[in-house]
Chain A
Amino acid sequence: MAPRFDLPTPDEETAPFWAGVNEDRLLIKHCNACGANHFYPRPFCPTCWSTDVEWCAASGRATLYTWSVVYNNDLPPFNERLPYVAALVDLEEGPRMMTNVVDCPFDELAAEMPLEVVYEQVSDDPFVKLPRFRPARG
């Protein structure tokens, strides 16, 4: 099998995030001490250093912070998907994350547009979904 570059490689700390995605949940870390949410996930709160942090399901609602339509990427399998939209979205809960925007004509992309998460399966074995975003439908 040709190497592919789109499969996440979880470690002990990040495995719950990717397991959540495979079950259609978008998990972020929430601090019970100060209330801050953070991303990427850490075993402690970067705001107050409390270790009383837990995974919480995000709403899946976000706004588009910025994006790029990628026309050039030789790495498989992206080379077969060109062009695609790489994007940074601001989650309703605060953190910003890299993702893809799908189901949106390129000329309708606009900063601050409301988005909603969609879990797209990209591999059967291993079973892998990725959290992507599409224009919010209501």
Chain B
Amino acid sequence: MKAEHQTVISGVGQSDVGRRLFRDPLELTLDACVEAIHDAGLTTKDIDGIATYPGPGGEPPGFSGAGAVEVQDALRLELGWWSGGIERPGQLGAVIDACMAVAFGLATHVLCFRSVFEGSAQGGGGRAAVMPGGSNRAAPRASGFMEWVLPYGAPSAAPWIAMMAQRHFHEYGTTPEQLGQIAVNARRNAALNPKAIYTDPMTIDDYLASRVIASPLRLFDCDVPCDGGTAMIVSHVDTIPDLRKPPVRVEAVGTALRGRPSWDQFDDLSTMAMRDAAVQMWSRTDLKPSDVQVAEMYDGFSFITLCWLEAMGFCGKGEAGAFLEGGHNIARDGVIPLNTHGGQLSSGRLHGFSFLHEACVQLWGEGGDRQLTSNPQVGVAAAGGGPMAGVLLLTKS
């Protein structure tokens, strides 16, 4: 049996989500974890694995609500396998690791989680407070990669992704009006999500009127920092009789990184690492892009989602601009409904895991007001940008 087919996602959970909750981040994390365990019909006694991104605490402030060890101790879990860390194929790389541990037999039910409190941590200081070496701290030693970008005022993902978008605009004639459809679509979907942060209607004209942060990216191309936790349980397929409901099946995963692992030295900066991860994922399944009925794909910046659309084959390389024109193809009743929860752009930067959460919710038909009436059977959850990308293809039981 293919390794992926030994694994299922048996439950998901999510804490309260807010712009600034000022709550104990471990408590938020545990809210999500406990909800996921109950959703699967399991108890903490059943959980014998942990996988998380990015590991405990540290910089930038609010980037990690809890590490694996804190959660293990808080829930008194007895583990056969555990892992937490940032150096992996995107945030969902942690979940893919969990699938491998389950297929390998080291664990049967792995609790996967990701929590953030960037909203509270930034306080009134804005995003600068969590930039590398933020403006309220001493100048950092710009070693390694940063030595070659910081002197030129390119200290963070915003200008790096902006330069990639500009290259795409140059090579393929992509326009701001086309890119903006990703943000407009996210806002439209967020209005149906009770946990979303920004729900006021937004038109493409509103988008175009928002201030430029780093051309061609505008304010509404950037996700919104928040507080919250997301969790899911990866279980062995043999445990299906023990579960509360038919699980979501993992059909295939992709983790490849064949290009140079760099934000500025990757060979083709009109795309990113998802180019490689997606090719690998499709090589591990007989399903095709046209079989996918819902796509939840990372939007830390809108241009990252555009790259995912192309990489996953929902449109051809360089064709995302035309595909996005008018926004119909990615709408709820479109060719490939995209980010049905509002994405990180409008529902909050829960950082990767919310996409997998939402894909499972849609496949289970539990989306409430935001449930797709098509009741999708096949979905994609993808996370990561720049030199990190991980993707899962999911099917309904």
Residues of A within 8 A of B (CB): 3-11, 14, 39-40, 65-76, 78-79, 81, 84, 86-88, 96-100, 106, 110-111, 130, 132
CB contacts (< 8 Å) of A78 on chain B: these are 153
Instruction: Enumerate chain B interface residues (CB-CB to A < 8 A).
Output: 126, 128, 131, 133, 135, 137-143, 145, 147-155, 158-159, 162-164, 166-167, 170-171, 211-217, 264-265, 269
B131, B143, B163, B214: which contacts A75 (Cβ < 8 A)?
Answer: B131
Pair B135/A84 contact, Cβ less than 8 Å: no
Tell me the nearest residue of chain B to A79, going by C-beta. B135
Minimal beta-carbon separation of B369 from chain A (angstroms): 35
CB–CB A69/B214 < 8 A? yes
**Out of A40, A76, A79, which one reaches B148, CB within 8 Å?**
A40
Known A9-B147, A74-B126, A130-B152; contact A86-B159, beta-carbon cutoff 8 A = yes
Please state if A11 and B143 are interface contacts (CB–CB under 8 Å).
yes
| CB-defined contacts of A69 to chain B, threshold 8 Å | 212, 214-215
Q: Once the chains bind, are A97 and B148 in contact (CB under 8 Å)?
A: yes
Q: In the bound complex, do residue B269 and residue A65 qualify as a contact, i.e. CB atoms below 8 Å apart?
A: yes
Q: Tell whether, in the assembled complex, residue B159 and residue A70 are in contact, meaning their CB atoms are under 8 Å apart.
A: yes
- Decide: A72 near B151, CB < 8 A? Known: A9-B141, A66-B164: no
- Residue of B at shortest CB range from A82? B153
Residue from B131, B158, B167, B217 within 8 A of A66 (CB atoms): B167
Q: Tell me the complex Cα distance, A6–B128, Å.
A: 16
Docked-complex contact B154 and A98, CB < 8 angstroms: yes
Residues of A within 8 A of B216 (CB): 68
Given A74-B128, A86-B163, A96-B264, A8-B153 contact (CB < 8 Å): no
- State A110–B141 Cα separation when bound (angstroms): 33
A67, B163: Cβ atoms under 8 Å? yes
A-chain residues with CB within 8 Å of residue B139 when the two chains form the complex: 3-5, 7
Q: Which of A11, A67, A130 has the most CB of B within 10 A?
A: A67
The one of B133, B214, B217 that contacts A5, using a Cβ cutoff of 8 Å:
B133
User: Are A68 and B131 in contact, CB atoms less than 8 angstroms apart?
Assistant: no
Chain A: which residue is nearest B154 at the CB level? Answer: A86
CA of A45 to CA of B71, assembled, Å: 44
* A71→B215 contact, CB < 8 A: yes
Question: What B residues does A111 contact at CB under 8 A?
Answer: 166-167, 170-171
Task: State whether A68 and B163 are in contact (beta carbons under 8 Å apart), knowing that A75-B128, A84-B153 are contacts in the complex.
Answer: yes
Interface centre among A65, A98, A110, A130 (most CB of B within 10 A): A98
Give the distance in Å from the alpha carbon of A28 to the alpha carbon of B331 in the complex. Answer: 48
Contacts of B137 in A (CB 8 A): 3
Report the bound CA distance from A110 to B133 in whole Å.
Answer: 32
* Selected contact of A14 from candidates B131, B135, B147, B213, CB within 8 Å: B147
A100–B147 alpha-carbon span in the complex (Å):
14
Interface centre among A5, A7, A68, A110 (most CB of B within 10 A): A68
Query: Contact at A70–B154, with CB atoms within 8 Å?
Result: yes
- Residues in A with CB closer than 8 Å to B128 are 74-75
B153 x A73 contact (CB < 8 A) = yes
Determine whether the beta carbon of A71 is less than 8 Å from that of B214.
Answer: yes
Which residues on the B side are within 8 Å of A79 (C-beta)?
135
CA distance A5 to B139 in the complex (A): 6
Task: Determine if A96 and B152 form an interchain contact, defined as CB atoms under 8 angstroms apart.
Answer: no
A68's contact among B126, B151, B162, by CB below 8 Å, is which? B162
- Whether the Cβ atoms of A66 and B212 lie closer than 8 Å is no
- Given A8-B142, A68-B163, A74-B131: A100 and B152 within 8 A (CB)? yes
Q: Which residue of A lies closest to B222 (CB)?
A: A72
Would you list 25 pairs from A and B whose C-beta atoms are within 8 A, ordered by A residue?
A3-B139, A4-B139, A5-B139, A5-B142, A8-B142, A9-B141, A9-B143, A66-B164, A66-B167, A66-B269, A67-B166, A68-B163, A68-B166, A71-B213, A72-B158, A72-B214, A73-B155, A75-B135, A75-B153, A76-B135, A86-B152, A88-B269, A98-B148, A98-B152, A106-B215
Query: Contact between B211 and A71 (Cβ–Cβ < 8 Å)?
Result: yes
List of A residues within 8 angstroms of B140 by Cβ = 5
Q: Report how far A130 CA is from B148 CA in the complex, Å.
A: 11
Q: Is the CB of A75 within 8 A of B269?
A: no
Q: Are A8 and B151 interface neighbours, CB within 8 A? A: yes
- In the bound assembly, the distance between CA atoms of A96 and B266 in angstroms comes to 10
When distances are taken between beta carbons in the complex, the residues of chain A under 8 Å from B213 are 71-72
Nearest neighbor of A95 in chain B, beta-carbon distance: B265
**When the two chains form their complex, are residues A5 and B155 in contact, meaning their CB atoms are under 8 A apart?**
yes
Interface centre among A67, A73, A110 (most CB of B within 10 A): A73
Residue of A nearest to B149 (CB): A98
Q: A77–B29 Cα gap in the complex (Å)?
A: 38
B20 → A minimal CB distance (Å): 19
Contact between chains at B151 and A7 (CB < 8 Å): yes
